[in-house]
Amino acid sequence: MTSTTEFATGSFAETPEFGKNLDRLAEVAVHAGLGLAPGQQLVMTATLDALPLARRITEHAYKAGASLVTTLFTDEQSALLRYRYAPNASFDAAPSWLYDGLAEAFRSGAARLAIAGNDPSLLSKEDPEKVSRANRAISKAYRPAMELITRHAINWTIVACATPAWAKAMFPDLPQDEAQARLWKAIFAASRADQTDPVAAWKQHDANLHARASRLNEKRYAALHFRGPGTDLRVGLADDHLWLGGGTTAGNGRYCIPNMPTEEVFTTPHKDRVEGRVTSTKPLSHQGTMIEEISVRFHDGRIVEAQAARGNEVLQRMIETDEGARRLGEVALVPHSSPIASSGLLFLNTLFDENAASHIALGQAYSTCVKDGDHLTPEQLAARGANDSLIHVDWMIGSNRIDVDGVSATGNLEPLMRAGEWV
């Protein structure tokens, strides 16, 4: 396919340069992100607004030998209609048959690709109680499929598409066309799709992230200490924790880079050893609602105080999802000079914003971030400090005003980051 006129709006989409970048984004998604195997099936999820990118990815997947590409399209406006007209009692339901089907596809060897690019505040005006019940039902129904993803049993990746609603949310003062063009430019840059050989550029970047993770693994820190405005937080690390960054070999033997972009190195905190106060440094768009200026206090690993200047009700409901929703499942370090941070843009999308700043996640831990984690029972993982929850919500706590120290087993402090940069 060469035509780019599928984008109804946008003269930018007519340029050959745009077509080339879009094609290279699809190419890196399949070859560097997914590591699709010849003969493998692919299950893709996308909103209708991402159709042109979904088609390009489908083309590259078949050219790479995919045996079958199945795309599940969703429509955000239809999702809104549920909140307007569906009976109140129905919000605890999710299409479990669909999520069971996804899990079945993954167990039978399919790879998974998600195209991100939702309207960051689609559900902001809806009843937070309905939103949280619907999210909970989805998390429960999705869990078996999600587990195969978080355990990296299969190869998977997420890439982004500059949808009209997302672009408008980021650049409310620009004409729609310009807003989308700006967002596409940022996506192409962060995903390295604007480089001549994006697959080679990703290989290099991936090697750098692995080297950073290895250096941290050699240190065997017992904890990290974050200090800055509104933040004095000690994050104990899980016993046998492993730092990861960049790509990983999935259980099915395929090498994949799960997030495009990715700039983070991350590991599993100890669910009972987090102490102190932390304040968010960027707004969080959480499943269609905005949560801003989050401030929480941890004691013995558990959130004992939490508030947000905006979206407080959603935050409160989120941490009440289950016992693990009040504890940490991830801590990640990202330098302030990461290409996404230096763009100066606030993306209102976790895939981007979490790669612009150090962050923590409430909820489920990645078992791959514990030594031999994939072979441990849930009880063994818990004994090492890995958290368990229906949710996994990342939020940003890093900035150019944050210092981070590594704390050794004997309590010695070693400077890791100063003013947001690696020491």
Q: Which is nearer to Zn ion, 154 or 181 (CB)?
A: 154
Tokens, residue 258 = 């799960």
Min dist CB 299 to Zn ion, Å, is 23
Q: Which is nearer to Zn ion, 36 or 369 (CB)?
A: 369
Number of residues that bind Zn ion (CB under 5 A): 7
Alpha carbon of 83 to those of 93, 94, 139, 284, 319: distances in Å?
A: 13, 14, 18, 22, 22
Cα 332 to the center of its chain, rounded Å = 12
Min dist CB 285 to Zn ion, Å, is 14
Amino acid letter, 218:
E
Q: Which is nearer to Zn ion, 7 or 226 (CB)?
A: 226
State which of positions 211-270 bind Zn ion (CB under 5 A).
264, 266
Structural contact between residues 331 and 360, judged by C-beta atoms closer than 8 angstroms: yes
Min dist CB 42 to Zn ion, Å, is 23
Crossing angle between the packed helical segments 198-219 and 16-28, to the nearest 10 degrees: 40
Min dist CB 394 to Zn ion, Å, is 4
Tokens, residue 292 = 């801003």
Tokens, residue 347 = 């993306």
Q: Which stretch binds Zn ion (CB under 5 A): 80-88, 116-124, 153-161, 358-366?
A: 358-366
Nearest 5°: phi and psi at 4? -115, 10
330 lies in the binding site for Zn ion (CB under 5 A): yes
Q: Which is nearer to Zn ion, 119 or 264 (CB)?
A: 264
Min dist CB 74 to Zn ion, Å, is 22
Q: Which is nearer to Zn ion, 27 or 353 (CB)?
A: 353
Instruction: Give the separation between CA 267 and CA 151, rounded to whole angstroms.
Output: 14
> Both ends of the chain: CA-CA distance in Å?
47
Q: Which stretch binds Zn ion (CB under 5 A): 81-89, 121-129, 151-159, 326-334?
A: 326-334
Q: Which is nearer to Zn ion, 13 or 361 (CB)?
A: 361
Cβ contacts of residue 23 below 8 Å, gap of 6+?
56
Q: Which is nearer to Zn ion, 42 or 237 (CB)?
A: 237
Min dist CB 358 to Zn ion, Å, is 9
Min dist CB 266 to Zn ion, Å, is 5
Q: Which is nearer to Zn ion, 222 or 328 (CB)?
A: 328
Q: Which stretch binds Zn ion (CB under 5 A): 30-38, 202-210, 276-284, 390-398?
A: 390-398
Amino acid letter, 271:
K
Category of 72 on φ-ψ map: left (φ > 0), alpha (ψ -120 to 50) or beta: beta
Min dist CB 354 to Zn ion, Å, is 5
Q: Which is nearer to Zn ion, 238 or 332 (CB)?
A: 332
Q: Which is nearer to Zn ion, 19 or 33 (CB)?
A: 33
Min dist CB 360 to Zn ion, Å, is 9
Q: Which stretch binds Zn ion (CB under 5 A): 57-65, 137-145, 149-157, 331-339?
A: 331-339
Find the helix or strand (DSSP H, E) in which 128 lies. Answer: helix 128-150
Instruction: Give the separation between CA 369 and CA 91, rounded to whole angstroms.
Output: 34
Min dist CB 225 to Zn ion, Å, is 19
141, 161, 244, 361: which one binds Zn ion (CB under 5 A): 361
394 lies in the binding site for Zn ion (CB under 5 A): yes
Q: Which is nearer to Zn ion, 264 or 353 (CB)?
A: 264
Place of tokens 């492993």: 242
Min dist CB 93 to Zn ion, Å, is 27
365 lies in the binding site for Zn ion (CB under 5 A): no
CA diameter of the chain: 62
Burial class of 311 by CB neighbour count within 10 A (0 to 12, 13 to 18, 19+): buried
134, 186, 332, 369: which one binds Zn ion (CB under 5 A): 332
Residue 59: helix, strand or coil by DSSP? helix
Say if residue 261 is preceded by a cis peptide, omega within 30 of 0. Answer: yes
Determine the Cα angle at 163 with ends 160 and 167, to 5°.
100
Other residues' Cβ atoms within 10 Å of the Cβ of residue 320 = 12
Interacting residues toward Zn ion by CB under 5 A = 264, 266, 330, 332, 354, 361, 394
